[in-house]
Structure 1
Amino acid sequence: MSTNAAEMSWDDIKALFLETDRKFQETERMIKELGRQIGGLGDKFGYFAEGMALPSMERLLQKRFHMTNVSARHRVRLGSREQEYDVLAWANGKVNQAVVVEFKSRVKREAIAQLIEQVQRLPELVLVLSGKTRIGILAGIDWDAGVMEEAQAAGLYTATIHDDLFELTTPKGFEPQRWQ
């Protein structure tokens, strides 16, 4: 095939276009695969952060909120509906409350609506908890600007990690939203 465009035949041009198209499709496939792998790394980092934080969050739930049952990565399937809770905790008797904790390595605004939906739908998916008051805790390592304050304004507890321990960051006297 000649490199001078004026000397190229239509067959040469067609072959060049087909080769370019093949390379483009291969590049596109590689980019999609790379995106899938990067997404997988993000999930693994999130699970790593959850695993690191779980012991301190469990202590916080037991001491501060008097939870007697703490379940990490709690999965529920009811019919065609499915939900995974990063941490689901509850207590019976005098406390009679359930707490849904959502961990994020990077906390973005969307996490607020996600957690509120999880708290609201809890009695539909975990029927044994339907008579309990429910609250939410949004826990994260790195928070986008203003998100912590927005979460608190929505009635959610917030927590962040300091020295390998999760601590509540809600102000003194904070009154959470309690779903019935």
Structure 2
Amino acid sequence: MATTIDDVVRLIGEIAAAQKETERRFQETERLIKQQNQNLNEQLGKLGNRLGEFVEWQVRPAVIRLFQERGIAVHEFYPGASARRDNDAIEIDLLVVDTTDAVLVEVKSKLTQPDVDEHLERLSKFKRLMPRYGDVRAMGAVAGMVVPDEVARYAYRQGLFVLAQSGDGVVILNDEAFQPRGW
């Protein structure tokens, strides 16, 4: 059986068409995978927000009592306090205050060092962006459902209170010798 040039040209054409179809299918599969990843990331983001809300609801009832036990005279808390001035803004998960003291609490499901660093930046802006608290002693706290030991130590060294889940409640991890940093 002799192969003709026409047969070779036809075979090359079939191979080229098959390659184009394979490439089209590959691109479609890649598009579907990207879409599924985007949907998954959105769902994970919503879950992360829900976990953060859960942790915040665990922390809320305890913050006033915990800080009062540490000699900080706070009696009010404001969830989701925020301010915007001069093209700058802050949002505080829980602002715990009274006439002489304020504690800005950042709440995360899993606390990380970058979370601590962001909160330190937030604390540095607090009195400028919320001048009604200009005369109070401002302190910082971080809270989490999961607080790795190295992150807790880092936050402690930065002068922040560290709150974490313990059993059915929330506790301050800082020892009695801890002296909070003021802003």
When normalised by structure 1's length, the TM-score is 0.85
- Farther off after superposition, 76-85 or 158-167: 76-85
Q: Which residue of 1 aligns with 2:18?
A: 12
1:115 and 2:104 matched: no
Alignment of 1:39-54 (within 5 A): 39-54=45-60
More helix by share: 2
Give, in angstroms, the shift of residue 63 of structure 1. 4.8
* SS of structure 1 residue aligned to 2:124: helix
Aligned CA distance change for structure 1 residues 61 and 171 (closer, same or farther; 3 Å)? closer
Cα distance between partner residues in 1 of 2:69 and 2:161: 15
Give, in angstroms, the shift of residue 148 of structure 1. 1.0
1:70 aligns with one of 63, 66, 77:
77
Q: Which residue of 2 aligns with 1:88?
A: 95
* SS of structure 1 residue aligned to 2:149: coil
Q: Which amino acid aligns with 2:35?
A: R
Cα distance between partner residues in 2 of 1:164 and 1:58: 17
Give, in angstroms, the shift of residue 79 of structure 1. 5.1
CA RMSD of aligned residues (A): 2.0
* SS of structure 1 residue aligned to 2:164: strand
Cα distance between partner residues in 2 of 1:164 and 1:118: 29
Cα distance between partner residues in 2 of 1:125 and 1:167: 29
Q: How many pairs does the alignment contain?
A: 172
Report if aligned partners of 2:90, 2:125 keep a CA contact under 8 Å in 1: no
Report if aligned partners of 1:52, 1:164 keep a CA contact under 8 Å in 2: no
Q: Which residue of 2 aligns with 1:175?
A: 179
Structure 2: gaps spanning 5 or more residues: 1-10
1:160 and 2:167 matched: no
1:23 aligns with one of 25, 29, 34:
29
Structure 1: gaps spanning 5 or more residues: none
Q: Which residue of 2 aligns with 1:103?
A: 107
